[in-house]
Structure formats: structure tokens, C-alpha cells
Amino acid sequence: MNIDLVTLVVYDYDAAIHFFVDSVGFDLVEDSPAENSDGDRKRWVVVRPPGAKTGILLARTDGQQQASVVGKQAGGRVAFFLRVDDFDTAYRRMSSAGVRFVESPRSESYGRVAVFLDCVGNRWDLLGPD
């Protein structure tokens, strides 16, 4: 058993793809036309860290209820955790690509960590070895 996808609600597919692929370094796994239950056009967009099994389904908002959770999917807490093998290289690359870090890197008992915001404002931990 494994988790295949988690959904991240975004305002715009292309902006989210740009952020995750160009700024964070994920792979674009799928970008296919689709329809919602009302027959409206949408896209099925999946990004994933290179080599990872679990991906993120980028879901464009559909209505006010979904729009109200964009950037607040965990109520202001860190929602997602991205583990890397080389923390310093990932931090420098992401910073230079425009990723907004809201906390400076620090060392904890579990390794190095820095908090960043995704393209819609959700908080992520960048994690790596000490």
C-alpha cells in the first residue's frame, strides 16, 4: 500500500507547474485535458519529485469553497515535507530560482530544515541531513 497522489488546490495550472517544475525541481508527470462532474473543462496535472512514487495533483479551484482553501490547506501549519539528500545545494538552487523561504535554515535533532511557501502560500519544510 502507498499514497499515489495528494491534491494541492491552486488558482492557475501553468503558474503551479512553473513553480514546482522550474523553481522546486519536480518532474511534470502528466498534463492531460479532463472534465469535472458538470462537464466543464479542466486539466489533470501531476508533478512529482524525481524518482518519487507519490505525486501532487495540481487541481485548479472550482467554486468559492475550493477557492477559500487555496494557500491554507493546513490552516497555516506546515502542510508538506520535502526531503532532499543535499540540503545546502537544494536550498541554494531553490532560493536562486525564486522560492520564498520564510524561515532561515536551522539544525534540529532530525537534520536541517527551512520553511518555504509554495506558489499559493502553503508552508513546506525543506528537510535534509545535518
Question: CA-CA distance, 60 to 43, in Å (whole number)?
Answer: 8
User: Do 1 and 51 have their domain in common?
Assistant: yes
Give the mean model confidence (pLDDT) for residues 113-127: 98
pTM of structure: 0.93
Question: Is 36 a residue whose pLDDT tops 80?
Answer: no
Q: So what's the pLDDT on residue 40?
A: 80
Same domain, 121 and 103: yes
Residues 57 and 29 in one domain: yes
Clarify whether residues 103 and 80 are in a common domain: yes
Q: Which of 17, 48, 64 is the last residue of a domain?
A: 64
More confident residue, 119 or 130: 119
Report the number of distinct structural domains present in the chain: 2
Do residue 16 and residue 50 come from a single domain?
yes
Last residue of a domain, one of 64, 94, 117: 64
Same-domain check for residues 56 and 115? no
One domain, residues 84 and 60 = no
Residue 130 pLDDT greater than 90, yes or no: no
| Same-domain status, 7 and 53 | yes
Evaluate the CA torsion angle 31, 32, 33, 37 in order and state its sign.
negative
| Residue 41 in this model has a pLDDT that exceeds 90 | no
Confidence at 63, pLDDT banded by 50, 70, 90: confident
Domain boundary among 45, 64, 83: 64
Q: What is the CATH number of the domain that holds 6?
A: 3.10.180.10
35, 88: one domain? no
User: Are 17 and 54 found together in one domain?
Assistant: yes
- Mean pLDDT, rounded, of the chain: 95
Residue range 14-34, pLDDT digits in tens: 999 999 999 999 999 999 998
All three cell numbers of 49: 519529485
What domain range includes position 112?
72-130
Neighbours of 107 (CB within 10 A): 10
**pLDDT digit string (tens) for 73-114?**
999 999 999 999 999 999 999 999 999 999 999 999 999 999
Reported as a pLDDT band with limits 50, 70 and 90, residue 38 is confident
State whether residue 12 is helix, strand or coil.
coil
